[in-house]
């Protein structure tokens, strides 16, 4: 195997590759075979596709482990598959989870609906309020964070959270989807298991659904056991696409980070925007922590329009380059309104109490030229100001 060391850019291209031999392909081939020849006496690791250890899986797992600084990684059919297998591997009936209240909706459904049915309970906490520790009970086995958070991009200092979890014998699991290992490696800050929706930045092209866990051999091994039985394996074609996407992770993230900084600075100066949410801005509440524990501030940005919900509706309709879609982390810029997606089940007041007023737009900045994105956002801001009421008044 090659290059599990070196910089992140080098690892993203080479880690886990087989040693080169004359006539071997430079690009790892897709191996769709569902089964593999074995020694008639029982030898052989590669037996069956549902075990998820075919050549396309093992290479991408070695690469992910090298990027996140773990001993081992597991790739699965979606981010939710990864989260479910992580929870199933760490919890049993009677156990308790302390989870961030700013959690992805699917993960909330997993905890509050599926795991509750298995006798596992969850308390949601605000990790930014020191009182969160009071939620830890003797039966707490998992502390679950998600940083940077959706959509306010909050970044907590992980070390004190990890220390509190470990003092009580619980594992710290962190969903680092919004950052990717290029910007944030929670294992370096005390987390026990890191989870990614690889559908986002890792694959990077909005054309693969995949998930991943990275950690120690023991922790990943337990999740792997669950996955082999519950069966949410990644298809070899998708594993191959994920590997291809990951090769350009470092250059894509450099561009996402640059666009994030440049466009959020521009947004902060616009009179139509009441507030810009980006951890790279000094105005972000976690700027100091983010500067310390992130290697880049990422491509996710939030803007809150002064004109509220009506202005936001006009704004997203007027965009020409960035398009409305709920996912994130791809090369193309996408926008969504939390009031219609992740926070649609809350009342406007509940959302406002959580810092997400109507008029809030989440922007997943792609790798287009910053000047073109700014021009697009600017013309949409002007169009949003010039709503039907204003046009009628002018006529
Ligand atoms: C932060 C976060 N975690 C987990 C998931 C779930 O990932 P997937 O859709 O790949 O199952 C998502 C999906 O949007 C997400 O944004």
Cα separations in angstroms, 380 against 78, 231, 302, 340:
34, 45, 15, 19
What does the block give as tokens for 86? 């992580």
Domain assignments of the chain as residue spans, ordered by start: 8-247, 249-394
Active site residues: 50, 104, 175, 200
Contact 88, 141 (CB under 8 A): no
Nearest CA to ligand 1 atom 10: 79
Burial of 106 (0-12, 13-18, 19+ CB in 10 A): middle
CA angle, 52 then 80 then 11, to 5°: 60
pLDDT score of 46 more than 90: no
Q: Helix or strand or coil: residue 266? A: helix
Verify whether ligand 1 is closer than 6 Å to residue 161 (CB atom).
no
Q: How far apart are CA 375 and CA 262, in angstroms?
A: 13
pLDDT at 344: 87
Confidence category of residue 43, pLDDT binned at 50, 70, 90? confident
Contact 144, 100 (CB under 8 A): yes
Q: Helix or strand or coil: residue 39? A: coil
Contact 215, 193 (CB under 8 A): yes
Confidence category of residue 345, pLDDT binned at 50, 70, 90? confident
Q: Which residue has the tokens 């976690």?
A: 286
Query: Average pLDDT for residues 78-94, to the nearest whole number?
Result: 98
Q: Which residue has the tokens 């992805």?
A: 104
What are the tens digits of pLDDT across the range 146-183? 999 999 999 999 999 999 999 999 999 999 999 999 99
**The CATH classification of domain 8-247, taken from the options 3.40.640.10, 3.40.50.300, 3.40.190.10, 1.10.357.10:** 3.40.640.10
pLDDT at 304: 98
What are the tens digits of pLDDT across the range 122-149? 999 999 998 999 999 999 999 999 999 9
Verify whether ligand 1 is closer than 6 Å to residue 209 (CB atom).
yes
Any idea what DSSP says for residue 20?
Answer: P
pLDDT at 159: 98
Verify whether ligand 1 is closer than 6 Å to residue 211 (CB atom).
yes
Q: How far apart are CA 203 and CA 252, in angstroms?
A: 11
pLDDT score of 5 more than 90: no
What are the tens digits of pLDDT across the range 285-317? 999 999 999 999 999 999 999 999 999 999 999
What are the tens digits of pLDDT across the range 194-248? 999 999 999 999 999 999 999 999 999 999 999 999 999 999 999 999 999 999 9
Compute, in angstroms, the gap from residue 37 CA to the centroid of ligand 1.
36
pLDDT at 42: 82
Tell how strand 121-125 and strand 96-100 pair up: parallel
What are the tens digits of pLDDT across the range 347-382? 999 999 989 999 999 999 999 999 999 999 999 999
Verify whether ligand 1 is closer than 6 Å to residue 197 (CB atom).
yes
Render the burial of 218-239: b for 16+ CB within 10 Å, e for the rest.
Answer: ebbebbbebbeeeebbbbbebb
What is the number of alpha carbons within 13 Å of residue 110 lying toward its C-beta?
19
8-247 against 249-394: fold identical: no
**Average pLDDT of the chain, as a whole number:** 95
What does the block give as tokens for 382? 């002007």
pLDDT score of 82 more than 60: yes
Compute, in angstroms, the gap from residue 113 CA to the centroid of ligand 1.
17
CA dihedral 284, 289, 293, 298 (to 10 degrees): 0
Question: 315: alpha, beta or left, given left = phi > 0 and alpha = psi -120 to 50?
Answer: alpha
Query: Average pLDDT for residues 7-31, to the nearest whole number?
Result: 95
pLDDT at 395: 43
- Contact residues for 207 (Cβ-Cβ < 8 A; gap 6+): 241
Verify whether ligand 1 is closer than 6 Å to residue 146 (CB atom).
yes
pLDDT at 394: 41
Q: Which atom of ligand 1 is nearest to the CA of 146?
A: 1
**The CATH classification of domain 249-394, taken from the options 3.90.1150.10, 3.40.440.10, 1.10.10.370, 3.30.1330.60:** 3.90.1150.10
Query: Average pLDDT for residues 249-260, to the nearest whole number?
Result: 98
Question: Ligand 1 test: best mutation among 100, 199, 362, most atoms within 8 Å of CB?
Answer: 199
């Amino acid at each position: 195997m090659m290059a599990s060391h070196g910089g992140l850019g080098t690892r993203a291209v080479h880690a886990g590759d087989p040693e080169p031999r004359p006539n071997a392909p430079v690009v790892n081939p897709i191996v769709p075979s569902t089964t593999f020849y074995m020694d008639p006496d029982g030898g052989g690791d590669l037996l069956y596709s549902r075990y998820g250890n075919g050549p396309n899986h093992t290479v991408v797992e070695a690469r992910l482990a090298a990027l996140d600084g773990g001993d081992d990684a597991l790739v699965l059919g979606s981010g939710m598959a990864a989260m479910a297998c992580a929870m199933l591997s760490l919890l049993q009936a009677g156990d308790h989870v302390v989870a961030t209240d700013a959690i992805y909706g699917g993960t909330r459904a997993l905890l509050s609906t599926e795991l509750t049915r298995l006798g596992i309970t969850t308390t949601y906490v605000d990790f930014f309020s020191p009182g969160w520790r009071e939620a830890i009970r003797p039966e707490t086995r998992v502390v679950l964070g998600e940083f940077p958070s959706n959509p306010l991009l909050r970044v907590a200092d992980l070390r004190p959270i990890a220390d509190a979890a470990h003092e009580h014998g619980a594992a710290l699991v962190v969903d680092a989807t919004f950052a990717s290992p290029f910007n944030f490696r929670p294992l370096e800050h005390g987390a026990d298991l890191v989870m990614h929706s690889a559908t986002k930045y890792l694959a990077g092209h909005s054309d693969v659904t995949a998930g991943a866990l990275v950690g120690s051999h023991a922790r990943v091994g337990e999740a792997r056991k669950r996955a082999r039985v519950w069966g949410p394996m990644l298809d070899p074609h998708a594993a191959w696409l994920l590997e291809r996407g990951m090769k350009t992770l470092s250059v894509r993230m450099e561009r996402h980070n640059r666009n994030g900084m440049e466009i959020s600075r521009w947004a902060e100066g616009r009179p139509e925007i009441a507030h810009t949410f980006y951890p790279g801005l000094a105005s972000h509440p976690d700027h100091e922590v983010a500067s310390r524990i992130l290697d880049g501030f990422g491509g996710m940005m939030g803007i809150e329009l002064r004109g509220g919900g009506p202005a936001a509706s006009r704004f997203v309709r007027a965009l020409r380059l960035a398009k409305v879609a709920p996912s994130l982390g791809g090369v193309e810029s996408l926008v969504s309104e939390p009031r219609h997606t992740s926070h649609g089940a809350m009342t406007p007041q509940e959302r406002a109490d959580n810092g997400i007023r109507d008029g809030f737009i989440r922007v997943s900045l792609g790798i287009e030229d910053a000047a073109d994105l700014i021009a697009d956002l600017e013309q949409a801001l002007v169009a949003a100001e010039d709503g039907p009421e204003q046009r009628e008044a002018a006529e």
